[in-house]
Amino acid sequence: MKNADKLPSEIYFLAKKMLSGTISSEEKEKLDAWYALNPTEIPIWELKNETKEQLSERLYKSLISKIEFVPVNQPKFIRNYLAIAASILLVCSIGIFLWLKTAKQEQVVKNIRAYSNGMITKIHLPDHSIVWLKGNSRLEYPSKFNDSTRNVILHGEALFEVAKDKTHPFVIRTGNYLARVLGTSFNIKESIEAKIFKLTVLTGKVAISSSNKSKDELEKPIIITHGNEFEVNGNQNSQRLTPAPISEKVLILNGTEYDMNFENIAFSEVKDRVEKKFNVKINTGKNNYSNCYLSADVTDQSLDNTLKVISAVTNSQYTINKNQIDLTGGGCN
């Protein structure tokens, strides 16, 4: 058994990515291929952190290897006994292996489908991104993002406010297109029947490309920066990239809580809007913030960043416990 410091540097690097959940499918294949050629090389540090699947695979391989070595010079009844015991162990190990494998697959495959049913529906994704699903639209996403990319599928129209995560790009598959971002806000409208696709970027930038249904990679992406929109009309066989009209932005934001630009707004209103957008409850206790007014733009900011601004203005401190926010101390004269 090799120690971590004796492993080839590339394999050690890939194994660390495997344990942290950031390994790509190509890297996983390379790692599996190396261990297939070195079946007895199980690092000590990996055994301490092995997953259920790794445990079942190791148990399975270990039992198989033991079954193969039956001494030929043993008495017949001993050989029969060993063969029976080995068969029982084999059946049990296969059962454990398949059970753990199935349980892991069920956990990963579990997806959630959200529908807007003609109304604007707000959805909080597992990574704290916020989506406003519009019209008769549907969004498909996993209960937990486990892959190196955060993948969702959109049918229809939605406004996305994507949580920033440089190590896990956010990829949206919609109709014949893929949109890939790190952390930004934008609106996507897609209609297969009308052959129309429109992307309006509010902040940051988005890479858009035609999708290949056999893989998630982007092919010849077009980079759309903030304040611009990209539209494809299949009926007219046309594409155009233009600045987004103000009227378009107003229409996109209508019915959402995306806009968090406060100009001398009373604390009570700020509190209500923050609670509604992030689905939280802000508790102020006996503290009085009635004389506090906020002038700041926290649009496209996370809950934590928004609370930092509020606490700075009110001279208070805050703590977050799930969906409960406690604001203490401070106040305004």
Domain residues of the chain, as ranges?
A: 4-109, 111-253, 261-328
**pLDDT of amino acid 291:** 92
Helices (runs of H) and strands (runs of E) counted in the chain = 8, 17
**pLDDT of amino acid 44:** 35
Mean pLDDT, consecutive 10-residue stretches, the chain (333 aa), reads 58 74 74 62 48 52 48 53 59 57 50 84 94 93 88 95 92 90 91 86 91 53 92 81 92 93 95 95 93 93 94 93 93 85
**pLDDT of amino acid 63:** 47
**pLDDT of amino acid 59:** 47
- In angstroms, the CA 153 to CA 175 distance is 9
E runs forming strands in the chain: 111-115, 121-124, 130-142, 150-161, 170-174, 177-181, 185-191, 196-203, 205-212, 215-225, 228-233, 238-243, 261-266, 281-283, 293-297, 317-321, 324-328
For residue 11, how far is the Cα from the chain centroid? Answer: 26
- Fold classified for 111-253: Jelly Rolls (2.60.120)
* Coil, helix or strand at residue 323: coil
Assigned token pair, 179: 């949109």
**pLDDT of amino acid 46:** 47
Assigned token pair, 328: 């203490």
Residue 144 belongs to what H/E stretch?
Answer: none
- In angstroms, the CA 309 to CA 290 distance is 17
Nearest to 187 by CA among 232, 156, 220: 156
State the alpha helices, DSSP H only, in 110-257: 246-253
The count of residues in the chain is 333
**pLDDT of amino acid 236:** 67
Assigned token pair, 274: 């923050």
Give me the CATH code for the 261-328 domain, please.
3.55.50.30
* Coil, helix or strand at residue 232: strand
